Amino acid sequence: MPRKDDGVPQEEAQEAAQLHETDVLIVGAGPAGLFGAYYAGFRGMSVTLVDSLPEIGGQVSALYPEKAILDVAGFPTIKGRELISQLVAQAASAEPTYLLNRTANALTVGEDSVTMGLDDGSEIVAKVVIVTAGIGKFTPRPLPAGDGWEGRGLVFFVPSFDEYRGKDVVIVGGGDSAFDWAHQLDGIASSITLVHRRDQFRAHQATIDAVLASDAEVITKAQVTALIGDDQVEKVEITKDDGEVVTKPAQAVVAALGFVADLTAMKEWGLEFDKRHIKVDTSTRTNLPRVFAAGDITEYDGKVRLIAVGFGEVATAVNNAAPLIFPDQGVFPGHSSEGS
């Protein structure tokens, strides 16, 4: 699969509707899903990951790629983007198939397989499904003034920074993603303007302080009310609450306004939910045969939602799925250090 400069696989090109066959289908390409892909390969399984986002990494890539994560074993501190890059490199040993920018929307459980329908008409036939979908399908909140501008300079993610080198960038939002990207683009972009509708922010204070101390211009109590240009955005119109209108040059506009989560499709699969989470037992089995779940999407007595916990849960799911895929194998895989 083609890769970007940071080693993270790019979105697989949309193809005509087709049939994919795999041992394990993982729904969700966030940290738990990526580690599950590695572990499935370690157990000798073929693995396919599907995700509704165009980028690998789930909430980490979408919401806090530059945030320092402090609770992953073995890393005193690691940025979200670096963690995803390491997980992708680890998962590469399994040679997984990534189906990105596609939504899993129909599930049929058979006697010895599970069939998953995707929104592009494709189908995946798997022996086991592991759901690691975090908060479910989530889509970016739209920028009201951005209708028709996506792909013409308006984006919702900043997967890599180099493409913004020398550009005037306007970032809309006041959360971690907005400030992370403003901080990281300092010294890369020609100019950075951050626009937020309030004068209070939801990002980490250290990042806020770094952006305020940088060359970035922060405009509060204001909204982007128009994008202006021909084929590509060239400038934006910003309207302040007091009625003042200012115009800023912009060859790129990043709408970091958060996301809307949607569990509708999964709830139609017949899975048992506890409000917004899938109920699982201690082996991570759901109420459906051959369907497991791990990570933030799950619920059980004593559940703790940490990335580190998700890693353990998805390994548990893969190991308990192994006898369903290879009837001659047991749940316990042996230790990875054995025979090394």
**Distant-in-sequence contacts of 11-15, Cβ < 8 A, 24+ apart:** 11/54, 11/55, 11/98, 11/100, 11/101, 12/97, 12/98, 12/99, 12/100, 14/101, 14/102, 14/120, 15/122
Give CA 309 to chain center in angstroms.
Answer: 17
3-class secondary structure for 250-290? CCEEEECCCEEEECHHHHCCCCCEECCEEECCCCCECCCCC
**Cα angle at 197 between 231 and 232, to 5 degrees?**
5
* Interatomic CA distance for residues 292 and 277, integer angstroms: 13
* Interatomic CA distance for residues 292 and 313, integer angstroms: 10
* Interatomic CA distance for residues 191 and 180, integer angstroms: 15
Indicate the annotated binding residues for FAD.
51, 59, 64, 104, 138, 296, 337
Beta carbons within 10 angstroms of residue 331's beta carbon: 12
Q: Are 24 and 128 in contact (CB under 8 A)?
A: yes
**Burial readout 80-106 (b: 16 or more C-beta within 10 A, e: otherwise):** bbbbbbbbbebbbebebbbbbbbbbbe
Q: Are 59 and 73 in contact (CB under 8 A)?
A: no
Indicate the annotated binding residues.
51, 59, 64, 104, 138, 296, 337
* Interatomic CA distance for residues 73 and 83, integer angstroms: 11
